[in-house]
Structures are given as structure tokens and as C-alpha cells.
Amino acid sequence: MATELLFRADAYLKTATARVTTASERGIELDRTIFYPTGGGQPGDTGAIVRAGGARIPVIDTRKGETPDRVLHVVAPGNPLPEPGEAVTLALDWERRHRHMRLHTALHVMSCVVVAPVTGGQIAQDKARLDFDIDLGLLDAARIEREVNAITARGIETETVWISDAELDARPELVKTMSVQPPRGAGRVRLLRIPGVDLQPCGGTHVRNLAEIGPIRVLRIRNEGKRNKRVEIALAD
């Protein structure tokens, strides 16, 4: 059964109620969830599934299930599992997720400051990186830091928009990330728009306003291969 992805419409939900659909050693599936499953370089969420009696089942990771529209909540071993049909409350590790959202949105901004194809990317709680197909000599840490911070300081509101597969096919320039092609086949594709800055397909979670990111620092720039010049950033605060 498909899981309704509540974070798609509202990335700020810290808690929600849901119903268990399946539960096994592999993980728990729910009719709906606020937990983001690993994908697009963003780690899966952690937190807890709370049973009616108050027992907390720690969620140590969230992954896509057997099909991309299913979500598997991976729980710490040794916990009694809930029954299918059981009503539960979801509690997200919000502090960790919000850092993912800030860093993820910062990567969107950086992909506009560095004008080159993106060949990879990864987000963690404390740092994030993008790989570019560019001459290493063209990457200037001080300039990237200054320009990203100048854009985020403008406090622009971000927007989620949807376009049809056909529209996306007609505008291939929207896809900057060569390593992550947007999922097609559902008829429509989700895009993140930062008005005046960026528009690209992305299924991840983002901050509402760029000001939430705060200043970033460039940690290092290094050569990771012919087409992979890596820029690693961190939140400055």
C-alpha cells in the first residue's frame, strides 16, 4: 500500500497521527508519514513511532520500500512491533531534519553560484557537498561563500511547483543534477523554485525562507575525479 507523503505538502510537520499497514523485522509501514526516506542525497529521517499506551519505538532510519511510493520506517531491534491497523503518533527528530533542510536548500543556492553541471551531492547533519564538472581552478572558496551568503541573506521565500512530465521533457535545462534524474512516470514532477535564483526538480525537503539557512562556510574544495570537483559546506552557526 502506498504511503501518503505528508512532508511533500508541509516539510514542517513535527508530529502526525497515522495507522500501521505492515510491521516486520525490516521495518514499519504506515498509511501516511512525516518521515523523509533516503533519496536525492538527503538522509532518511529518525525519530519515534509512539503507540497508544505511550510506548516509543525508536525509528533509526527511513527508506523507500519495495516500490518508490512506499516508505519503510526502520526500527531499532528488540522493540515489540505494533499490529497492522493500530493507530500511532509519529514524532520526528526535528532538529536533525531541520539541519538537513537548511543544508539541502543551501545546495540549491550553491548550484546557482557555481555555474557548472552538478555530478553528485550528499547531505549530512553537519555538512553537505556538491560535485561539479568544472576546472578546479575556477572554484574559489571565498567567492562561493560570499555569493551564497549574499543570496540567502535576501530572505527569499521558496515555492514548490509541479509540472507535467511533457513540460519537463521540453525544458531539459531545468535538470542540473546529472546524477539524480527526476522520477518520471507519475505524470508530474515536483520542482523547487527560489524566485529569481533557481528552479529545478527536487523531491527533498526545503526551508520556507532562505533566511532560515543562515550563513554557510566552505569547508574544503578538492578533486574527486575528472568530472567531480567537490565543494563541501557547513552551517556557520
Which residues make up the interface to Zn ion (CB under 5 A)? 192, 202, 204
Closest approach, Cβ 162 to Zn ion, in A, equals 14
The residue with its CB nearest to Zn ion is 202
Secondary structure letter of residue 203 according to DSSP: -
Closest approach, Cβ 166 to Zn ion, in A, equals 22
Closest approach, Cβ 52 to Zn ion, in A, equals 35
Cβ closest to Zn ion, residue 49 vs residue 103: 103
Closest approach, Cβ 200 to Zn ion, in A, equals 7
| SS3 category, 185 | coil
Q: Where do we find the cell 559546506?
A: 233
Closest approach, Cβ 12 to Zn ion, in A, equals 15
Cβ closest to Zn ion, residue 82 vs residue 204: 204
Cβ closest to Zn ion, residue 81 vs residue 163: 163
* Ramachandran quadrant class, 168 (left: phi over 0; alpha: psi -120 to 50; beta: rest): alpha
What are the φ and ψ backbone dihedral angles of 212, each rounded to 5 degrees?
A: -65, -25
Closest by CA position to 200, among listed 184, 179, 183, 177 = 177
CA distance 228 to 130: 9
Cβ closest to Zn ion, residue 23 vs residue 113: 113
Closest approach, Cβ 33 to Zn ion, in A, equals 19
Q: Which three cell numbers stand for residue 73?
A: 520506517
Cβ closest to Zn ion, residue 34 vs residue 192: 192
Q: How many CB atoms lie within 10 A of CB 110?
A: 25
Cβ closest to Zn ion, residue 49 vs residue 192: 192
CA distance 111 to 109: 5
Q: Which three cell numbers stand for residue 3?
A: 504511503
β-pairing, 47-50 with 159-164? unpaired
